[in-house]
Amino acid sequence: MSKFYARRRVSILAALSGLIASVALFNAPTASAALPTPVSGATARSYLAQLTVATEDRTGYDRDLFPHWITQSGACNTREVVLKRDGTNVVQDSSCAATSGSWYSVYDGATWTAASDLDIDHLVPLAEAWDSGADSWTTSRRQSFANDLTRPQLIAVTDNVNQAKGDQDPATWMPSRTAYRCTYVRAWVQVKYYYGLSVDSAEKSALTNYLASC
């Protein structure tokens, strides 16, 4: 084989290897789905240091005090917007309901092809928000919090994982995928900081520990 053809063969093989790697990367699930990118670890640590530490108080909490899944555009409510945003090849019907698609749940690493297998998680739960300051908000502000598509607050995840999380904070619950925990706590702190919510002492300790490695 001539040196010319040998070099050409090596070049072709290198190009093919690069193409295969690119395809694999494109098809792999993203580490953060389509959650708005949270602040950096350094910024989150700065924000956390500024949050008020206070005992939680759930007196008077009712989920209905946070109007959620409001209409965002046309027939699409917040849930359907997040399902479309966080999924791959999502098809919606005339009422904006997702009829097909694929969703990768970053909390547990599961992939689903039915929208009914997914919940839209309020990363900072509604009850947690109430406990840490939202009890004094107007209904309008609670509605904005419950439907916030701008901050890293809403994400499509496996339904039973979300149900197991419930209203727990990072002191007692974290995603089982350790690779996502840094993103999770950065998002948690960003949301609490933006909305002026407090943290309790155990929550702050857990956030401090997780953010130390972010």
The CA distance from 158 to 114, in Å, is 11
- The answer to whether 158 and 176 are in contact (CB under 8 A) is no
In whole numbers, what is the pLDDT of the chain averaged over residues? 88
Q: What is the pLDDT of residues 70-124, one digit of tens each?
A: 999 999 999 999 999 999 999 999 999 999 999 999 999 999 999 999 999 999 9
Mean pLDDT within 121-149: 98
The CA distance from 18 to 5, in Å, is 20
Residue 210 pLDDT grade (very low, low, confident, very high; cuts 50, 70, 90)? very high
Mean pLDDT within 197-213: 98
* pLDDT exceeds cutoff 90 at 195: yes
Q: Is 89 exposed, middle or buried (0-12, 13-18, 19+ CB in 10 A)?
A: exposed
Question: pTM above 0.95?
Answer: no
Q: What is the pLDDT of residues 1-20, one digit of tens each?
A: 444 333 334 333 333 333 33
* pLDDT exceeds cutoff 90 at 29: no
Residue 34 pLDDT grade (very low, low, confident, very high; cuts 50, 70, 90)? confident
Q: Is 64 exposed, middle or buried (0-12, 13-18, 19+ CB in 10 A)?
A: exposed
Nearest to 33 by CA among 75, 79, 90, 88: 88
**Residue 35 C-alpha from the chain's centroid:** 5
